[in-house]
């Protein structure tokens, strides 16, 4: 309950007070008590974090050719960015 109140107060400091903030604050407080899973992926928008955005797309006509093309694109992107991001050696 203490953490819920803290989170609610933080929300109220930056936004117009709404009774629904209690629901959001309570959900966040409960989520903080759940231990992280080893396979959980998150992003904190810091240089040592990463972002994953998935979208649905139609099945490619040739899955192997598509996989090879995507692998080549990923390699080119990694080579282009290598050494440019702080504390993230990519090669």
Regarding predicted confidence, which is higher, 52 or 11? 11
Q: Determine the Cα–Cα distance for residues 74 and 87; give it in Å rounded to an integer.
A: 20
* Per-residue pLDDT at 69 exceeds 80: yes
What average pLDDT score do residues 3-13 get? 86
* Per-residue pLDDT at 46 exceeds 70: no
* Per-residue pLDDT at 73 exceeds 90: yes
Q: Closest by alpha carbon to 26, among 16, 15, 11? A: 11
Q: Determine the Cα–Cα distance for residues 10 and 76; give it in Å rounded to an integer.
A: 43
């Amino acid at each position: 309950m203490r953490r819920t109140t803290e989170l609610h107060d933080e929300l109220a400091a930056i936004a117009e007070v709404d009774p629904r903030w209690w629901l959001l604050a309570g959900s966040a407080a409960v989520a903080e008590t759940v231990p992280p899973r080893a396979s959980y992926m998150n992003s904190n928008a810091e240089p040592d974090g990463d972002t994953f955005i998935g979208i649905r797309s139609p099945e490619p006509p040739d899955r192997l050719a598509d996989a090879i093309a995507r692998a080549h694109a990923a390699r080119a992107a990694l080579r282009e960015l290598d050494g440019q991001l702080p504390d993230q050696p990519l090669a």
